[in-house]
Structure 1
Amino acid sequence: MALPDPALPRRLLLRTAAGLVCAAGTVPALATAAAATDGPGPPSAARRAGLRPQARPRTGSSSANGWPMEKGADIGGAVWSRAVPGTGATVAVRLGAVSTVLVHVISRYHYEVEALGPDDVRGFRAPHGLRGFRTNYASGTAVDIRPGAHPPGATGSLFPAQRAAIADILTECAGVVRWGGRFRTPYEAHFHIDVPPSDERLARLADRIGRRNGTPGQGPGTPALRG
């Protein structure tokens, strides 16, 4: 069983302090992360990297959550590497609403749960050998955050306040994102999109996140978006 880091996450301390200031009737100025965007389109990214897009990047099968699985990332399909603001990390995820939501989840995790570095996030995995919820990696709809610190089946590596922050992130996502910490066999590093492509809740959530992250004084590290 992994032991918790004795140092409280810096954002949790800031959130606590912010709550005390608000109780006194003063609104604090909170730091915000830059909005996560898709950046340059995949074709231009591929050209810069000297990549030749595959004619058929999809496998023809769907992951457990109903999304088309891909043969690889950054090869001309729907899965591309995206930067996570403030962390130095990149993660290969599905473009569009999925990317907006998952990068936002990682960014909030960084500011509110525990600080992340360049090697702390993992996204796309090739489909061969994947089963069950793990197939979601192959569709670019799942990520792992610090999988070495929070391996499958392990619990006790997160403080109660950290678990509460994760619960707040999930509340913001309103059923669109599922956390592996609530699996029958816990996997606390894992997050995936829990709705199929046809579910309009994903698009609505991505739109709210995009508008909020594009507004000064809002975004990851500020009170959660609801509704």
Structure 2
Amino acid sequence: MTKSNLSRRSLLARSGAVASAALLASVAGSVVLSTPVYADSSATTPTGEDIRKALSRYQRNRDRVRSGRPSPNGWEMEKTTDGGGSVWTRPVPGTPLSGVAVRIGEVETVLVHVIRRFHYEVDQLRKGEVTGWRSPGKVHKGLPEGNQASGTAVRIRPEFYPAGAKGGFFPPQLVVIRDILAELDGVVRWGGDDRRTDESLFYIDVKPGDPRLTALVEKLRTWQDTPSEGAGTPVDVLADDRRAAAKALQRSQRGS
């Protein structure tokens, strides 16, 4: 094809192919360089064959982990945890829990905060009493519990507060739960407010990329770095401003 016959469409198609190849090579290169042998600065530069093999491993792992389907709150469900995806078993500082499988990053920061405040202010938790991620095949995908499959929900003491049962908490405990939800600016929803009651369930109630989640995480991380702030710090859940915020959010979430 001569230069004069090279159409704009052909140019765009070729440019897109080059860009896609460059992106895949970049991903594969990152995978190669993150392995122990290439983490050593004295190791040789990865070859084209190294990158091809790493890209193949990356794609196989991606297919093994990702489902391609969203949970009810819009986050992608994953088929396994601790397997190279976005859901990993994370520690819950200050509790006897061995860890909880949640989506790492912003979601982790929020849900761990919920668990810690529950432990400190509602009732002390024991090892094994919190369930995070569950396989997509083991949840009702059309119900809020389906959010567990994306690592964006936790169940706290599901044996104590089974789905469908109401009235599992004493009034003072409910006051604290309402305060936790209000403190999180409505980013988290409690299953006790759902049409099908599930008082053990707490889940992220915004979609990926929602600025409310980012703003909340900035606040929580600031508290983590500030003495006398955050989970474990005594707060007056009966203070007028906190109760007003909690009641307003309760009305809003119950009505949605």
Shorter chain as normaliser: what TM range? 0.7 to 0.9
Q: Does residue 1:55 correspond to 2:66, yes or no?
A: no
Give the C-alpha shift of residue 129 in structure 1: 4.7
Contact residue 65 and residue 195 of structure 1 kept, 8 A: yes
CA distance in 2, matches of 1:209, 1:136: 22
Letter in 2 for 1:103: V
Q: Does residue 1:202 correspond to 2:198, yes or no?
A: no
Specify the alignment match of 2:113 in structure 1.
104
CA distance in 2, matches of 1:126, 1:98: 18
Contact residue 145 and residue 201 of structure 2 kept, 8 A: no
CA distance in 2, matches of 1:173, 1:58: 28
Letter in 1 for 2:168: S
CA distance in 1, matches of 2:163, 2:232: 27
Give the C-alpha shift of residue 207 in structure 1: 1.0
Figure out how many residues of one structure are paired with residues of the other and give that number. Answer: 178
| Equivalent residues in 2 for 1:2-13, closer than 5 Å | none
Q: 2:93 aligns with which of 51, 74, 85?
A: 85
Contact residue 155 and residue 188 of structure 1 kept, 8 A: yes
Q: Is the helix fraction higher in 1 or 2?
A: 2
Q: Aligned Cα RMSD in Å?
A: 2.1
Larger Rg, first or second structure (1 or 2): 2
Instruction: Structure 2 unaligned segments of length 5 or more: list them.
Output: 1-33, 36-56, 246-256
Give the C-alpha shift of residue 102 in structure 1: 0.3
- Percent identity of paired positions between Structure 1 and Structure 2: 51
Give the C-alpha shift of residue 175 in structure 1: 1.2
Q: Does residue 1:117 correspond to 2:129, yes or no?
A: no
CA distance in 2, matches of 1:105, 1:144: 11
Letter in 2 for 1:220: A
CA distance in 2, matches of 1:72, 1:203: 25
CA distance in 2, matches of 1:149, 1:214: 34
Relative contact order higher in (CA < 8 Å, ≥ 6 apart): 1
Letter in 2 for 1:76: G
Contact residue 168 and residue 224 of structure 1 kept, 8 A: no
TM-score normalised over the length of structure 2: 0.65
CA distance in 1, matches of 2:219, 2:236: 11
TM-score normalised over the length of structure 1: 0.73
Instruction: Structure 1 unaligned segments of length 5 or more: list them.
Output: 1-42, 45-51
